[in-house]
Amino acid sequence: MGLDEVTISKAIIEDFYRAFLEYTDIDAGIVGAGPSGLVCAAYLAQAGFRIAVFERKLSVGGGMWGGGMMFPRIVVQESALDILDDFGIRYKAYAPGYYLANSVEAVAKLAAGAVSSGAEIFNLMSVEDVMIREDDAVAGLVVNWTAVEMAGLHVDPLSIKAKMVVDATGHDASVCRIVERKVAGAGFNEGKGVVGEKSMWAEAGEKMLAATTREVYPGLVVTGMAANAVSGGHRMGPVFGGMLISGTMAAELVKHKLKERQ
């Protein structure tokens, strides 16, 4: 049988539009497909929720791809090994309490885990705004093609209704910054706004994540480095246990909120 280019085009267009339509009304929208966002998406989708991940870049994985200074290795602490096991990511012991994994394998398996659990990843899409409703809660995301943003084209975005939103945008904490900027007098983050992250201190940053991963505004949970950036936690460099655990915690918080509303 021959190959027909129009059939190939139709297959791609039809299936993508079906998915895009299906995900205009979701349980949770995860912004950012770095490690914390992917883990969060995978566990929520596994629990049966309709989950979409919006990633600005062509590639998923955020800051995990590049390992440490482009050496494609990451360090993971013992406390997060069960998450590596869940995703089938291999690791080896390096020193007591320190484990090593290949960053390319880790990203590939986190993404595969999220997708095969049922989450839909929309790459090349940037979240440029949120929807806030009368009850002063985040009620959705406003998205556009990253190419539109990069080219500075004047093209209006489209909106996605989401019961919960997760800011997993890393150091930028970009969703939280949008809420801070646009919701006048919202008292965002207990009135402090986005504090910004502090300098490198892996241990302190890791400890803070347990407290900084939280619902910072009604309907908006923050995870990963974005969580520390919002609350003034330290950056941590290429040690990823905290990011993975924070993604798990965010998934639990979102699950709890969604179940309350059922």
Beta pairing class for 25-31 and 158-167:
parallel
Tokens of 26: 């979701």
Continuous segment of H or E residues that includes residue 20: helix 5-22
CB of 114 to ligand 48F, least distance (A): 12
Question: Is residue 213 part of the contact set for ligand 48F (CB under 6 A)?
Answer: no
d(C-alpha 261, C-alpha 252), whole Å: 15
Among 235, 252, 257, 258, which residue sits at the site for ligand 48F (rule: CB under 6 A)? 235
CB of 154 to ligand 48F, least distance (A): 19
CB of 139 to ligand 48F, least distance (A): 17
On whether the CB atoms of residues 230 and 22 are closer than 8 A, the answer is: no
Q: Dihedral of the CA atoms 48, 243, 82, 119 (nearest 10)?
A: 20
Smaller CB separation from ligand 48F, 111 or 139: 111
- Phi then psi for residue 168, to 5 deg, are -120, 40
CB of 141 to ligand 48F, least distance (A): 9
User: x/- contact string, 21-60, with ligand 48F (CB under 6 A)?
Assistant: ----------xxxxxxx----------------xxxx---
Q: Which residue, 11, 40, 30, is CA-closest to 174?
A: 30
Question: Is residue 129 part of the contact set for ligand 48F (CB under 6 A)?
Answer: no
Contacts (Cβ under 8 Å, ≥6 apart) of 117:
41, 42, 43, 45, 46
d(C-alpha 230, C-alpha 29), whole Å: 19
CB of 149 to ligand 48F, least distance (A): 9
Neighbour-count burial of 167, counting CB atoms closer than 10 A to its CB (0-12 exposed, 13-18 middle, 19+ buried): buried
Question: Is residue 189 part of the contact set for ligand 48F (CB under 6 A)?
Answer: no
Candidates 157-165, 187-195, 221-229, 248-256 — which segment interacts with ligand 48F by CB under 6 A?
221-229
Smaller CB separation from ligand 48F, 9 or 94: 94
Binding footprint of ligand 48F, residue count (CB under 6 A):
30
Smaller CB separation from ligand 48F, 11 or 141: 141
Question: Is residue 103 part of the contact set for ligand 48F (CB under 6 A)?
Answer: no
Binding interface with ligand 48F (CB under 6 A): 31-37, 54-57, 62-64, 126-127, 168-170, 172, 174, 224-226, 235-237, 239-240, 243
